């Protein structure tokens, strides 16, 4: 049986943020793939549930990082 839960979580998400993430922010999101695409940064990774998604967005807000877009996307494997 697939390890994905029936409610659709975990789900892969892509976060585009303004600017280049500072090292301390990169460390907080170490479980995500982070790619610099000037003038933005692309972060992608698995989000386990809606609470986790809101937590990521809250963490970005606390760091003062402007979110450009948040998109769910299918897994690459």
Q: List the 40-47 sheet strands across, edge first.
A: 33-37, 40-47, 11-18, 67-72
Q: What global pTM score does this model have?
A: 0.84
Quick: pLDDT tens for 19-59: 999 999 999 999 999 999 999 999 999 999 999 999 999 99
pLDDT of residue 76: 56
pLDDT of residue 6: 61
In angstroms, rounded to a whole number, what is the distance separating the alpha carbons of residues 69 and 50?
Answer: 16
pLDDT at 1 over 50: no
Positive/negative CA dihedral, 14, 18, 24, 26? positive
List of domains in the chain: 11-72 (3.30.70.1060)
């Amino acid at each position: 049986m697939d390890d994905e839960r029936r409610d659709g979580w975990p789900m892969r998400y892509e976060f585009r943020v303004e600017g280049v993430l500072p090292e301390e922010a990169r460390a907080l999101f170490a479980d995500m793939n982070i790619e610099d695409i000037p003038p933005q940064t692309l972060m992608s990774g698995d989000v386990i549930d809606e609470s986790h998604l809101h937590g990521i967005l809250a963490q970005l807000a606390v760091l003062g990082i402007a979110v450009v877009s948040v998109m769910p996307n299918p897994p690459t494997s």
